[in-house]
């Protein structure tokens, strides 16, 4: 299963989701079943490391990660089975780039998998806020990744 998590700049939410999901897969002993990546709908931060504040909030919760931001491109529709947008604005961007119904059907919102959320809720972007926003975003993404893993491993979801 090839999964790409997508936010706007690929420096906060989507790389966090990528690394939380990989950690969950590793803990469950199923990491070999997944190819996981992340991308942004804009290229503004391409080549940059994930946001320092998000990495700090994650490290305080036992998750250390790195990587470099990249922009989502149309070829990614063919590379991935599941494309998960962090919010409705990025979902709309992805939908506008999708050419076929098959590509459209690959696009989902992260909080569809959040047991405490509702299907159309956004994962909030904490970029302009304080530290509490990064903690809240971490918790939402973690729950959502756990829900996604449960759906995939429980075969409740099949692309």
In a domain, 53, yes or no: yes
Task: Identify whether 159 is part of a domain.
Answer: no
Round to whole Å and give the CA distance between 60 and 84. 25
Unique residue bearing structure tokens 């972007």: 125
**Total number of domains constituting the chain:** 1
CATH of the domain at 88: 3.40.50.2300
Tell me: the pLDDT tens digits for 109-151? Answer: 999 999 998 879 999 999 999 999 999 999 999 999 999 999 9
The residues annotated with a catalytic role in the active site are 7, 13, 125
Q: Does residue 158 lie in a domain region?
A: no
For residue 115, the enclosing domain spans: 2-153
pLDDT tens for residues 71-100? 999 999 999 999 999 999 999 999 999 999
Residue 84 lies in a domain: yes
Burial of 127 (0-12, 13-18, 19+ CB in 10 A): middle
- Please answer whether residues 106 and 26 qualify as being in contact, where contact means their C-beta atoms are separated by less than 8 angstroms: no
């Amino acid at each position: 299963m090839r999964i790409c998590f997508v936010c706007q700049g690929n420096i906060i939410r989507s790389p966090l989701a990528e690394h939380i999901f990989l950690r969950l897969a590793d803990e469950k002993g199923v990491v070999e079943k997944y190819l996981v990546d992340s991308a942004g709908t804009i290229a503004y931060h391409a080549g940059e490391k994930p946001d320092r504040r998000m990495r700090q909030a994650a490290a305080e919760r036992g998750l250390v990660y790195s990587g470099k931001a990249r922009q989502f491109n149309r070829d990614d529709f063919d590379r991935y089975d599941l494309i998960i947008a962090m919010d409705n604005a990025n979902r709309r961007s992805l939908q506008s780039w999708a050419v076929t119904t098959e590509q459209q059907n690959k696009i989902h919102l992260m909080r569809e998998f959040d047991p405490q959320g509702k299907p159309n809720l956004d994962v909030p972007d904490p970029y302009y806020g304080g530290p509490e926003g990064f903690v809240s975003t971490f918790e939402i993404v973690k729950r959502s990744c756990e829900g996604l893993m449960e759906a995939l491993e429980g075969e409740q979801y099949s692309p």
